[in-house]
Each structure stands twice: as C-alpha cells, then as structure tokens.
Homo-oligomer: A and B are copies of this chain.
Amino acid sequence: MTYCLGIVNCFGIVIAADSRTNAGVDYISAYKKLFDFSVPGERVLLICSSGNLSMTQGVITELRRDIQNHEEVNLHNLSSMYDIARYIGHKSRQIQDRDRQWLERDNIDFQCNFLLGGQVKGEEPQLYLIYPQGNFIQATKETPFLQIGETKYGKPILDRTITYDTPLEAVAKCALLSIDSTMKSNISVGPPINLVMYKADSLVVRHTLELRLGDPYLAKMRKLWEDFVRQAFEAMPNIEWQRETEASVEDILID
C-alpha cells in the first residue's frame, strides 16, 4: 500500500509520501514514491505515485528518459501544468496498456495513480491527481488537497485543518500528522516519509525532508499530538445523557 498527499494553497504546495511497498503482507520493502523533476528558476515539478510498482517505475523512467533524449514533448518543455498533467496521463495509459492483458488475465491489479504538484513560471502553483485511466482533476480553493493510495485514515485531520490560507509550515505539520495517523492504523504504509514544502513563486525547491523509522521529530510530534488529544477530551463538556436515573442498581435488580 501507499499513502501520498498534496496540498496547494495561496502560500504554495506541500507534498508528502510514504515509502512502503508490499506484495501481500509477507513481502514488504521500501521504494521512494516522491520524485522531483524541477528546473530551478523555471519550473517546480513534484510527482508522487501509487499503485502497481512495475507500472509506476515504468512511467517515471520514461518521463526521465524523454527529458534526457530531448524528446519533442517532455516535462521540461511543456508550457503549462495542465499540459504536463495530460502528458503524464498519456504516458501512464501507454505503460499500463503495454502490460494490461498479461496482468488482467491473472487478476493482478495493474492500475496506478499520480499526484503532480508544482508551478511553471508565469502560472499559479497547481496540484493534480492523475487517475489510472489517464484523466485528471485539479485541487481548488474549496478542496485544496488531493490524496492517493490509502486515503481514508489521514483524511479527517485534513478535513478539519487545511484551508486555502493555512500557513505553509502548519500545512507541512498537518501532512506529516496525516501520514503518521495512516501509518499507525495501516501497517502497509510506512517510513521513510518524504516531505517537500514549496513556497509559491520561488520556483525552487528549498524545503525537503526525509524522516526515517524512529526519527526523533516524528516521535516528538506523535507524543505531543497524543497529549493534545487527551487534553481535548478532558476539556470537552460532559455529555448530557438522556435517561440518567437516580435509582441505585439494587433497586432495579430483578432477583
């Protein structure tokens, strides 16, 4: 399994991914799922992947090769984030189509999803989710985050916290907490965690972080969060129960 999330707002973009890949529960390994294709000063391009590893690796390899071979269309010469999302979708379709019939007949899930976050000079920062079918959606002011992989455990914290004007450092902490919640609830999501914070219009990636298993920051964050949660419960007003009776147990006992 995998969990990747991206958040875009007026201050920039935060994008994060876990690194655990599993084939069943008895074959677990670590693969980086966050890739930086930026050209400093010109464009920032961050890509996360989830799904069948042979497919996602194929897509990333071909994206890289198209740049190296100076293909007519590649990540570095397309002029808008929209066109880049289309190009990745097209590439993903091609790669999946190549192997589809061999995997499908053995009931192997061949699908893969991508997050694309970044900014091309002259545009606003943008965030896209590219579906296995190659079509895609864009994050908006109303819903500034997108997730792929094991999305549910980490969504409530985003739903309650992230808005279009949440400061970027708080967004980054929230992204870490969202991943930590997912790791705690689903063992198939795991470290190292890769995190990038991109400040709008800087056109360069300055804030990156890799948190390995047992990282002291992660441990500190988890402890602090759990203390806060406990305090919150204590601070919550008592429940006003509907049928509180004054009778003692003995009055009610039948025998």
Binding site for B on A (CB under 8 A): 39-42, 152-157, 159-161, 169-170, 172-174, 176, 181-182, 184-185, 195, 197, 201-204, 206-210, 217, 220-221, 224-226, 228-245, 249, 252-255
Contact = CB atoms under 8 A, between A and B. Distances in A.
A173 to B, nearest CB: 5
B207 A241 contact: yes
Given A173-B239, A210-B242, A231-B228, A184 B203 contact: no
Contacts of A237: 217, 220-221, 224
A220 to B, nearest CB: 6
Contact of A197 (B228, B229, B241): B241
A238 B169 CA distance: 8
Given A41-B254, A220-B237, A243 B208 contact: yes
A195 B204 CA distance: 51
Contact of A224 (B39, B174, B232, B252): B232
Given A202-B249, A209-B239, A226 B160 contact: yes
A184 B220 CA distance: 28
A228 B217 contact: no
A224 B182 CA distance: 23
A209 B241 contact: yes
Nearest to A170: B233
Contact of A232 (B153, B228, B245, B249): B228
A228 B235 contact: yes
A56 B70 CA distance: 61
Contact of A156 (B156, B161, B220): B156
A234 B170 contact: yes
Contact of A160 (B160, B170, B229, B234): B229
Contacts of A176: 239
A14 B226 CA distance: 21
28 contacts: A39-B254, A40-B254, A41-B254, A152-B153, A154-B156, A156-B156, A156-B157, A156-B181, A156-B184, A160-B181, A160-B226, A161-B226, A170-B233, A170-B234, A173-B239, A197-B239, A201-B249, A206-B244, A206-B245, A207-B241, A208-B243, A209-B241, A210-B242, A217-B239, A224-B235, A224-B237, A228-B229, A228-B232
